[in-house]
Structure 1
Amino acid sequence: MFNLLICFLITSCSSDDNNDNPNNTLQETIENDTQSGTWRITKFIDSGINETSDFSGYNFTFNSTGALNSSNGTNSFDGTWNISSDGADLDDLELNILFNLMNDLDDLTNDWDFISQTSTKIELIDIIGGVEPDDLLTYERK
């Protein structure tokens, strides 16, 4: 019986059990949630000024290829996105957004830190430091 238990334990372990990136599961979950459905901005505070209305009507799609598409029916803009990590917690993840043309969405280009994340809501912050207030950005799934 003891030999059977040892045999089971040895065969049930694999090299995949040693995860070099302890944050991999959290990062993958957030990436999968972000890629699911269409999102809208429900809060954008830029240096203490509420500019949420600037994004009224825009829908955002985060594609698995890293492409970020946004359209309000009249204007359409393409950018890129990814999630980078330098640790094992939500605080260590960043949502990197890049819209490379000067347009209505250029204020979104940033390396945003996560405040909170669910499958339907992403709250982000850009910590400015100094005398200016931090920037805040919230996406909610449509």
Structure 2
Amino acid sequence: MKTSILKLTTVLLFMIFVSCENNNDDDVLDNISAAQVTELTGIAASGSWTITYYFDDKDETDHFNGYAFTFNTDGTLVATNGTTDINGTWSISDSDDDGDDDSPDDSDVDFNIAFSAPADFADLTDDWDIVKYSAVRIELIDESGGNGGTDKLIFEKN
């Protein structure tokens, strides 16, 4: 009887492990359609956003406290804290077109952000993979080239 219980427990634990491993929240969206790109572009450009989580080797969310990010339809990106404006650019593009996507989990669509300065904002410059999005939240990841770690960036609508 104890052997049967032990075998059953082992099987159940294995099933739980496999199930958890296959339901990773950080999986990028695969096969994003042109309609989804249009939808996400409209969502991003529909108001201001706050960075609620930024991880690059460690949690660096506090570097962006007090800043609101506006993704303008002309491709400009402005981060403002009421007294300082930091200008950048953004786009959503098919990575096959620009050839610079280095993610092995390539969704073929990138959420591109570019700031030249200051350093904290320049760290956001990347071709981010889209994990998921809604009308009020955009989740992005990027696999770092050098150390193989995964950076994570989450915007939430103000």
- Structure 2 residue 81 is matched with structure 1 residue 65: no
What's the secondary structure of 1:44's corresponding residue? Answer: strand
Partner of 1:133: 149
Deviation at 1:119, TM superposition (A): 1.1
CA contact (8 A) 1:91 1:115 kept: no
Deviation at 1:128, TM superposition (A): 2.0
2: CA distance between counterparts of 1:98 and 1:75?
17
Q: Summarize deviations over 1:93-128 as a string: whole Å, max 9, x none.
A: 211011123443111111100111111100000112
Counterpart code for 2:144: I
Instruction: Tell me which of 45, 52, 57 is aligned to 1:35.
Output: 45
**Which structure 1 residue ranges, 5 or more long, are not aligned?**
1-21
Partner of 1:84: 93
2: CA distance between counterparts of 1:138 and 1:52?
9
Deviation at 1:133, TM superposition (A): 2.2
The within-5 A match list for 1:85-124 is: 85-86=94-95, 91-124=107-140
Deviation at 1:86, TM superposition (A): 4.5
TM-score (structure 1 length as normaliser): 0.76
Partner of 2:20: none
2: CA distance between counterparts of 1:85 and 1:54?
29
1: CA distance between counterparts of 2:114 and 2:62?
20
Number of residues paired by the alignment? Answer: 118
Q: Percent identity?
A: 39
